[in-house]
Amino acid sequence: MHHNTETLYTDRISRKMIPENKIDEIRESCDIVDVISDYVKLQASGRNFKALSPFTQEKTPSFMVSSDKQIYKCFSSGKGGNVFTFIMEMEKVTFPEAVEMLAKRCGIDISSHLKGTAVPDKDEQTAHETLKWAAKLYNRLLNSADGKEGLFYLVSKRGLKPKTITSFGLGFAPDQWDYLFTHANRSGLQPERLVSIGLVQKSSKKNRYYDYFRNRIMFPIFSIGGQVIGFGGRTLSNDKNTPKYLNSPESRVFDKSTILYGLHTAKDTIRKQELAILVEGYMDVIALHQAGLCNAVASCGTALTLAQAKLLKRYAGDVLFIYDGDEAGSRSMLSGIDILVQSGLTPWIAALPEGEDPDSLVGKQGKDGFLRFIEKERISFTDFQLAFFRKHGSFDQPGQKSAAVKTMLKTITLVPDTVKREFYLQELEKQVGISVPVLKTIIAEERLGIKRSRGTDRKSTGSSTKTEKEQQLSVVEKTFIKALLESTFYGNEVLEFCMSHQALLKLSNPLAASILEHLVNRYRELHSETGVYVDITREISSFERTEARDLASGLLMDDPVSTHWQDSDDEPQEKARRCLTAFLDAVRKLIIEDFQTKRKLLTEKLRTASNLETEKKLTGTLHQLSKDQKTTETEVEKMIDTILQNR
């Protein structure tokens, strides 16, 4: 997550409001494996855990989490950090907001430390705080005398219980032009911020602001972590020109193509049951949850997207489509099948009777009746495709049948698992009467053009890969920084050395240099306090440069500098000595490397010298450099020997 200068400044101010020891308490109370498990499906991998990256589209897991070090590293995107930075990345929130979210998760009260930010400077009011304020405003109105129309609709017409209304934070926007804007103005909220997150709009003709949501039941839309990021509004008007449902416009915190309604409360049940129920509407989700089917989610007024499918993949392998039992619902499920299969999910379909939706069916039959319906009607995606095409006459003529079979084959080719793919082909052979070898021939013919396209893509990306490699750390600097980071697990000895000899430690890589500078400055602040150590897991979230944080996380996630003792039973003192030895060896090489670089530059200048006087001067400088190198190398060797002998 890249921060601008204003955000970094705000984070630093807010950090001071929450004591460091309280931040440490929160971080130590929230196991990073548990927190990240809410977002991705982690699998044990040796001492660590791995998963598909939550930041990129990938087929082979490259996202690693260390329980020992309480850090994560995504090797496909390069991102890394601790539990706070992970929440910042996933929820798109600031550092203090991440601290507050995790504090609530682990039951630590920091309200007294947030009093200073309860009425923040207007420029520091975040989108999430404003949206949360709006959700509370709508909810209070729903439960007041002025909200009786909305409450009557939800309770009497839709059968919702007060507990359900509260748990989903439902609210009411009255039939007034400026109800929210007036209250926001009284609370000191800036109109520009309200516009930026879609709560109000500005009329250019009248030069006035008016509410975006009016005369609507309000459905707060939450992020996975429970932050309000937008709203859906269901109109109570009978005007045919008024859209039935209205979502918040796109903003920096709300992108409906990446959100699943209800996932923040459904994710644990989905993970346990390894199945997600995918429905179309907000009320479908709420009705199913109220009935005890708490693994239901819905797309936010959009056709299913790859990003939404990827979200589901974090929690389950199977998805059950239950869309409305009309033509539009069937076609939506048909198009969504490919999206789910492509994401490595297995779609199942339970087609509802004409005129029914999940909300109405569960209302009539209850939880047990609904489950019996699913058990009876649930079919595979290939069976659904076949039934759909037959219903629409696609198997009546050879040409139409050919197109239908190719459509089904396209879906099957998206299945990532080879064994499953073979089973689906065998099933299709039985259904359409075309042998598996012929089906594979059709697939090969259809793929020919795609392979050529992919070949072109590989050529175009080759130069990018090379550029990334050219920007990598040198081996010496990488070893130096890695040993420096690892040394903090054993004490301050290496940082003491760095602080005392900072002038000798010249790093050409700017990220490596920024890590060294940050840790030395941090140690300089702490070294006067006896028994206080630099906590690298904490410091990672303090790096001002995101790239430096990512680099440090990756180096810590790699095998230790002395890999042969990673799993050894050596005492910590021995491990610390080996880490120190690796660090000092890197220091020696860094210093020599610096002299070699200077020598190379002088030699090049000498080779191109234009006159005898310049040549003589450069020769003298080169001679002095050689003497300085020998002297420095001798001093460094003595210094290193002394340090190691004193261990």
Q: Are 62 and 73 a contacting pair, CB within 8 Å?
A: no
CB 544 within 8 A of CB 12: no
Q: At what angle do helices 83-91 and 95-105 cross, to 10 degrees?
A: 110
How much is the pLDDT for 124? 33
pLDDT band of 475, cuts 50, 70, 90: confident
Name the domain boundary from 343, 372, 401.
Answer: 372
Domain of residue 248 covers: 126-147+168-252
Please say if the pLDDT value at position 590 is more than 50.
yes
> For residue 69, what is the domain's CATH number?
3.90.580.10
Please indicate, yes or no, whether residues 497 and 617 belong to a single structural domain of this protein.
yes
Identify the top-confidence range among 110-114, 155-159, 249-253, 588-592.
155-159
pLDDT tier, 373 (very low <50, low <70, confident <90, very high otherwise): very high
Based on the fold, state whether residues 442 and 585 are members of the same structural domain: no
224 lies in the same domain as 262: no
Indicate if 452 and 499 belong to the same structural domain. no
Q: With contact defined as beta carbons under 8 Å apart, do 277 and 293 qualify?
A: yes
pLDDT band at 571 (very low <50, low <70, confident <90, very high): low
**Minimum mean pLDDT among 61-70, 197-206, 544-553, 634-643: which range?**
634-643
- Specify whether 330 is located in the same domain as 407: no
Under the banding of pLDDT at 50, 70 and 90, the label for residue 197 is very high
pLDDT of residue 592 exceeding 70, the answer is yes
Give the pLDDT band (50/70/90) at residue 591: confident
pLDDT of 572 reads 61
Q: Is residue 158 in some structural domain?
A: no
End residue of a domain, out of 252, 267, 297: 252
Residue 559: both structure tokens together: 């095998």
> How big is the chain by its Cα radius of gyration, in Å?
31
pLDDT-above-70 percentage for the chain: 88
Quick check: is 156 in a domain? no
Instruction: Answer yes or no: pTM beyond 0.85.
Output: no
Within this chain, do residues 527 and 641 fall inside the same structural domain, yes or no?
yes
348/362 same-domain check: yes
For a pLDDT cut of 90, what percent of the chain falls above it? 37
Query: Could you tell me if 239 and 269 lie in one domain?
Result: no
Domain count, the chain: 5
241 and 262 together in one domain: no
- Cα 581 from chain centroid (whole Å): 37
**Which pLDDT belongs to residue 207?**
83
- pLDDT (tens digit per residue) in 158-177: 999 999 999 999 999 999 99
Q: Please, what sign has the CA dihedral across residues 376, 268, 228, 40?
A: negative
Residue 604 is assigned to a structural domain of this protein: yes
- On the question of pLDDT at 13 being above 70, the answer is no
pLDDT value at 289 more than 90: yes
In terms of domains, do 482 and 602 share one? yes
Q: How confident is the model at residue 41 (pLDDT cuts 50, 70, 90)?
A: confident
Report pLDDT for 217.
Answer: 97
